[in-house]
Structure 1
Amino acid sequence: MHTQTLPPAAIAQPTPQSLVLSGTWTAAGLQAGMLQQLDALQPAAGDAFQVDAAQVAALDSAGAWVLQKLLLRLRSQGGAVDLQGLGAPFSRLLDFVAQQVADQARKPLPPPAPQPGVLESVGRSTVEAAEQAVALLGFIGETAVALARCAVQPRRFRWRSVLVNIRIAGFDALPIVGLLAFLLGIVVAYQSADQLRQYGANIFIVDIVGLSMLREFAPLIAAIIVAGRSGSAYAAQIGTMVVTEEVDALRTLGIAPVELLVLPKLIALVVALPLLTVFADVLSVLGGMVMARAQLDVGFAEFLDRFVKAVSATSYMVGVGKAPVFAAIIAVVGCFQGFRTRGGAESVGRQTTRSVVQSIFLVIVADALFSIIFSVLDL
């Protein structure tokens, strides 16, 4: 048994004032390029036009819309259009589509959305920042509860994941942290050399490099590098898991995402960043020593002899003591922004950027607060 296949929609123009329509004027029967074929027709302007639709075998809303477009184009030439031979059901469908097209043309365009004013933009940004701050506080509380739960039951800690994160965030970051700390020590020593040479105070380059590097620059540069390197990775990893619904799957299995994804990263970074800070201390002082010898003729032995007198253990511990706080800020903010990912890849990128910006901002704010506190305590 063979099924008869209806011919596709077709248009013929036997004379300049007439058209013959045939075939199946449906979504399936309309040929590719039908609209371009309609635009290519050249009706005679101002003359009456006849459209023979007796050979139209089928018509649906898509075909009626195309046919209505053809009739409107012919009427736009200024002449009358006589549609002949179209069956009664097809005529009713065509009239219905014509009414819808006319109603749509008469409907006024919606007014453009008003642009928010400066005050409204500031208000919305403030509300959004406040909501995010409240959510961050809630996330910190959730992390603290999970940490206390694991402290009561140490077997809940995922030590293998902690060690892996220490390698990734700490050991793998040694080259970039060491290089930048070394270069920063060179820069600080170089910028100070001219001023010290004018007053014959070359040896005080040790005080400048030692105190500035150990107290401020070394922990800060290590934290900024880790924020851009590991904090962004935390946000991207967790954000991707949220998008692919892996976090929901963990909750379904009864596994707390904070214990699996946040605590190992937090503990690893709290351990790794102080060690990176010590490494940055050593390399930054070495860079200062190299520049002091090149610019001020302060030898290595002389530099180290002055160094142990100028830099106290308190100054060293002040710099190292900041590192765990910076690490906690970076890990918590990175994981928090990862969990706030919604949508697709664009959201992952947006939250990753936010995690880096907010981490660096909060690290600098925390460093400023440390400076005020240490100044009050005379440390």
Structure 2
Amino acid sequence: MLTEGLAPGTASLTEAADGRMRLAGRWTADQAPAVEAAAARIAAAGSARLVVDLAEVERLDTLGAWVLERTRGEVEAAGGTLAYLGARTEHRTLLGEVAIRGEVPPPARRLALPIAVLDGLGRQTARGGREIATGVGFLGEVVAACGRVALRPGSFRGTALVNQVQQMALNGAPIIILISFLVGGIVAQQGIFQLQRFGAQTFVVNLIGLLILRELGVLLTAIMVAGRSGSAITAEIGSMRMREEVDALRVMGLDATEILIVPRILALMVSLPMLTLIGDLAALAGGGLTAMLYGGLTLDQFLARLQAAVGVHHVTVGLIKAPFMALTIGLIATIEGFAVEGSAESLGRRVTASVVKSIFMVIVLDGLFAVFFAAIDF
């Protein structure tokens, strides 16, 4: 017996005749020295298979459970095993919780630089594939929610849609107009400077007309909407996740997809074409003003040349792209919003990821549409 001279309730360890380690007393923080001493004796036992009997343990707190689990890890690291016997339900639960939180992953093995580059590329590719699969699945949920709303029009939140359109389109129009006007003027100025070498500065009207209506107008507008409205959607939904408002909606039996996602995505798909058209007009106005100031064109010459250079189908090309870009921005923004965890750092990371991914996908979509329209000669 190794418990002689100990006060009642003191953490103790007894080695039984059958080789078991019998623990007794309070394995709590106030008994830390005795707990550590007993744990050290267990680790030094040297047996390949240890059995620790917890039937006589009066109390076990987090410190005692953590020391036991740490000792078990030391025994297993030395090639042995340690099993618990006679533990009460609450003690077994506490040991399980400490084991879950106490596991320390082994340090990552350093790889040679070429292998590390390939490893990182492979991991990013796999991550991208998972994100694409998540996006496709989320798109399916949104389509299903839109179908449910179509079957039950009374459940559609029209007020939320109008409010979102106001926030995205009406309140976002001034900055779209300003940026588009300035970009149109810059493109026209640089085009005039280059075309003057060949005495063809009047062709700047063709340049800005086709470039803005087919490509630049919708691309620039979509990027600004991704930075302004997409980040706002992610921040709003992420904040609701942090305050557990999304869980509260589900507890009340409400569909978070119908309430939070459908109005925002529909508002984006309505707002982006309108903002694209407004941005096109502003960019053409900026380009026309620059052409008159730097290229010596009159307003009548500019309008006549523009009418001859572009047609309705050029405007249609830009407007066709807008809803698809809006849908992409909305899906990415909402996915990142629902991925927010319970910290401000997580919210900041998700908002940043939302903007970066949205801009990247908008550019990719624009390139795909450019190839498609070139292939069909439209």
Q: Is TM-score (shorter-chain normalized) higher than 0.5?
A: yes
- Deviation string, structure 1 residues 118-137 (Cα, Å, up to 9, x no partner): 33323322222222211111
Contact 1:274 1:323 in 2 (8 A): yes
Contact 1:61 1:97 in 2 (8 A): no
> What is the CA distance between 1:368 and its match in structure 2?
0.6
Partner in structure 2 of residue 197 of structure 1: 196
User: Following superposition of structure 1 onto structure 2, how do residues 172-251 of structure 1 map, counting pairs within 5 Å?
Assistant: 172-251=171-250
Counterparts in 2 of 1:160 and 1:62: CA distance versus 1, 3 Å = same
Matches of 1:361 and 1:94, distance apart in 2: 57
Partner in structure 1 of residue 167 of structure 2: 168
Matches of 1:323 and 1:123, distance apart in 2: 33
- Deviation string, structure 1 residues 32-53 (Cα, Å, up to 9, x no partner): xxxxxxxxxxxxxxxxxxxxxx
Matches of 1:61 and 1:185, distance apart in 2: 71
Counterparts in 2 of 1:165 and 1:64: CA distance versus 1, 3 Å = closer
- Deviation string, structure 1 residues 77-122 (Cα, Å, up to 9, x no partner): xxxxxxxxxxxxxxxx59949969x999xx89x9743246333323
Q: Which amino acid is the alignment partner of residue 347 of structure 2? A: V
The answer to whether structure 1 residue 114 and structure 2 residue 109 are counterparts is: yes
Matches of 2:125 and 2:201, distance apart in 1: 50
TM-score normalised per structure 2: 0.71
Partner in structure 2 of residue 146 of structure 1: 145
> What is the CA distance between 1:161 and its match in structure 2?
0.2
Counterparts in 2 of 1:201 and 1:235: CA distance versus 1, 3 Å = same
- Deviation string, structure 1 residues 354-378 (Cα, Å, up to 9, x no partner): 1111111111111111111110111
Contact 1:189 1:205 in 2 (8 A): yes
User: Following superposition of structure 1 onto structure 2, how do residues 265-304 of structure 1 map, counting pairs within 5 Å?
Assistant: 265-304=264-303
Please give the secondary structure, in 1, of the residue aligned with 2:307.
helix
- Deviation string, structure 1 residues 316-367 (Cα, Å, up to 9, x no partner): 1111121111111111110111112234221111111111111111111111
Matches of 1:365 and 1:349, distance apart in 2: 24
Please give the secondary structure, in 1, of the residue aligned with 2:254.
coil
Contact 1:162 1:268 in 2 (8 A): yes
Identity %: 39
Counterparts in 2 of 1:62 and 1:312: CA distance versus 1, 3 Å = same
User: Following superposition of structure 1 onto structure 2, how do residues 12-27 of structure 1 map, counting pairs within 5 Å?
Assistant: none
Counterparts in 2 of 1:98 and 1:331: CA distance versus 1, 3 Å = closer
Matches of 1:61 and 1:144, distance apart in 2: 56
RMSD, matched Cα: 2.7
Matches of 1:378 and 1:169, distance apart in 2: 33
- Deviation string, structure 1 residues 288-312 (Cα, Å, up to 9, x no partner): 0111111110111210121111110
Please give the secondary structure, in 2, of the residue aligned with 1:170.
helix
Matches of 1:361 and 1:194, distance apart in 2: 31
- Deviation string, structure 1 residues 128-171 (Cα, Å, up to 9, x no partner): 22222111111000000011111222222110000000011111
TM-score normalised per structure 1: 0.71
Counterparts in 2 of 1:198 and 1:123: CA distance versus 1, 3 Å = closer
Gaps of 5+ in 2: 1-27, 45-69, 78-103
| Number of aligned positions between the proteins | 292
Counterparts in 2 of 1:377 and 1:94: CA distance versus 1, 3 Å = closer
Q: Which amino acid is the alignment partner of residue 108 of structure 2? A: A
Q: Which amino acid is the alignment partner of residue 357 of structure 1? A: V
Q: Which amino acid is the alignment partner of residue 185 of structure 2? A: I
Q: Which amino acid is the alignment partner of residue 315 of structure 2? A: Y
- Deviation string, structure 1 residues 262-286 (Cα, Å, up to 9, x no partner): 1100111111111101110111001
Partner in structure 1 of residue 258 of structure 2: 259
Bigger CA radius of gyration: 1
Contact 1:209 1:285 in 2 (8 A): yes
> What is the CA distance between 1:205 and its match in structure 2?
1.2
Partner in structure 1 of residue 345 of structure 2: 346
Counterparts in 2 of 1:349 and 1:152: CA distance versus 1, 3 Å = same
Please give the secondary structure, in 2, of the residue aligned with 1:342.
coil
Partner in structure 1 of residue 357 of structure 2: 358
Partner in structure 2 of residue 306 of structure 1: 305
Deviates more, 1:166-175 or 1:194-203: 194-203
Matches of 1:374 and 1:340, distance apart in 2: 35
Matches of 2:326 and 2:335, distance apart in 1: 14
> What is the CA distance between 1:61 and its match in structure 2?
6.6
Gaps of 5+ in 1: 1-59, 66-92
Contact 1:64 1:94 in 2 (8 A): yes
